[in-house]
Chain A
């Protein structure tokens, strides 16, 4: 069944990318303007020249084939607004966003799952109730607000952390110093969500007969939780964390704006404001690919952990 699923994802990929091709051509107005962005003004001659270069004067099926060929050559078009190829723009931004988001997702998954499991197991204890309240509070606060608070108190008032950007001098220590606050906030936020889900999941799983039977076999409380309940309860987390990776390049938008970091989120945001269509289309294609890969990853890990899923396919 994994092949069937892969085929389904391939079809989804084809359709979404085709839609990406169709939208600027189906939009009212001049196709070239739709492809270039609205603030690009050119002379009549330059316009014709560009039309030939971009290929919009050719029949639509040729354009479609060219579009796919360019995509496989990692040619995502040219931003006339930023005067750079879209693919190199994205490459430049992606590595910074990765540095911000990947550690946050990974640490958030570990911290949230572990603490959430313990909280679900010992939910009547005062300590775990307090912890749950704390995580709920973080979960309910919009991340940009949390970022602004941290920036104001820890960055501005106390001066412990720089106020903006990914780096100043570019040394590893400097980058880590800049990344500390945004990564901390993203980690807390992703941990709080995983915490809530894991806690609920453990509370549900502990009612199952296999948990009582583990106790009847003479296992200690920790052994029941970590050997028997944890694996069953963590199944929903796998899907969530895998999907987090799918939105790795768009999910950090608010954090990037508050901390003025030039990552993917800000790239999308700026191109949206300037109607820089080539960049929007390029990022759209990249996000599509990532989300589909993440779904595949989720399916694959799920099967790895849960034999019932593995044998069904």
Chain B
């Protein structure tokens, strides 16, 4: 039994332009101590999936399916029960640390806050632990700084401290390396990996960067237009991809020839019939525009393609 089991998760948003189908029947499993990378281009629904798991979506979101964590369906919990899960069992690291931290509190206050409020620790004990954690993350002497006094990378580490201070079992990182320069990427990934190992947690990493996924993950899930197209062990998916979209994504990397994927990104309001990738697929057949492909097993996972 997986630690987190996402089954047929669908999310749509009611908007004036129409119903946006941000995620369609997403099924994923996160095992104990595993790192799963959820990859795909910007706007394919990756963030929506994790925000649905955390129940952080806005009120106009319609969520279907099940998210089983330790035998409980998170989607059926009320806000109070969910608040207990957040931070203690499942923690999330946002992609924009400088805006996610509260501008008017010191970072040490923001880290110790969870301990005081959720674990009923004394203020001095909470401050001791948060200062140790911040030091371990390389923010020694910066505990009393405010977010606006720190660089983006430092804020990123401060937020990692905020998120993992309660020792969560699942750490979700939503594009933690977006907007960082190359030297920072390795450092931040190292911190996240460390936080995961210290807590014995599982990591669900969202990224559009295949290189990041290769560095850190055990398993990769590729999303396109709200659907998971392929899941498998990282080496297999990145070396011998089964889905033409994964192949196209890899070919678009600078070191693999910089080949753009032909055609425009699909509409999420009116997604393509049949296989959602068929309008841009070099292998498309007549069947592809009619029938939604079923999941087919691969060596280490599955793929949603008829080829």
Q: Which A residues contact B (CB, under 8 angstroms)? A: 208-210, 212-221, 223, 227-228, 231-232, 305-308, 311
Contacts and interface: CB of A to CB of B under 8 A. Distances in A.
5 closest A-B pairs (Cβ-Cβ)?
A218-B87, A218-B86, A213-B100, A209-B99, A307-B146
B104 A215 contact: no
B162 interface: yes
Nearest to B172: A216
Contact of A218 (B84, B105, B148): B84
15 contacts: A210-B103, A212-B100, A213-B94, A215-B86, A216-B94, A217-B87, A217-B91, A217-B114, A218-B83, A218-B84, A218-B85, A306-B103, A307-B103, A308-B146, A311-B149
B80 interface: yes
A217 B162 contact: yes
Interface string B96-112: 10011111111000000
B48 to A, nearest CB: 14
Would you call the interface of chain A mostly helix, strand, loop, or mixed?
A: helix
Contacts, number: 76
B103 A209 contact: no
Nearest to A228: B102
Interface magnitude class on chain B = 20 to 34
Contact of B113 (A217, A231, A232, A311): A217
Nearest to A215: B56
B88 A216 contact: no
Contacts of A210: 99-103
Contact of B96 (A209, A220, A232, A311): A209
Contacts of A306: 103-104
B217 interface: no
A263 to B, nearest CB: 38
A208 B118 CA distance: 23
Interface of B: 54, 56, 79-80, 83-88, 91-92, 94, 96, 99-106, 113-114, 117-118, 146, 148-149, 159, 162-163, 166
A301 to B, nearest CB: 13
Contacts of A307: 103-104, 106, 146, 148
A220 B80 contact: yes
A209 B94 contact: yes
B166 to A, nearest CB: 8
Contacts of A220: 80, 83
A232 B118 contact: no
A228 B92 CA distance: 18
Contacts of B54: 216
Contacts of A215: 56, 83, 86
Contacts of A231: 104-105
Contacts of B88: 218
Given A217-B91, A218-B85, A221-B79, 8 more contacts: A212-B56, A216-B54, A216-B56, A216-B87, A216-B94, A217-B163, A218-B118, A311-B148
A52 B280 CA distance: 99
B162 to A, nearest CB: 6
Contacts of B91: 216-217
A305 B149 CA distance: 16
A232 B83 contact: no
A307 B103 CA distance: 8
Contacts of B102: 210, 214, 228, 232
Nearest to B114: A217
B199 to A, nearest CB: 16
A216 B92 contact: yes
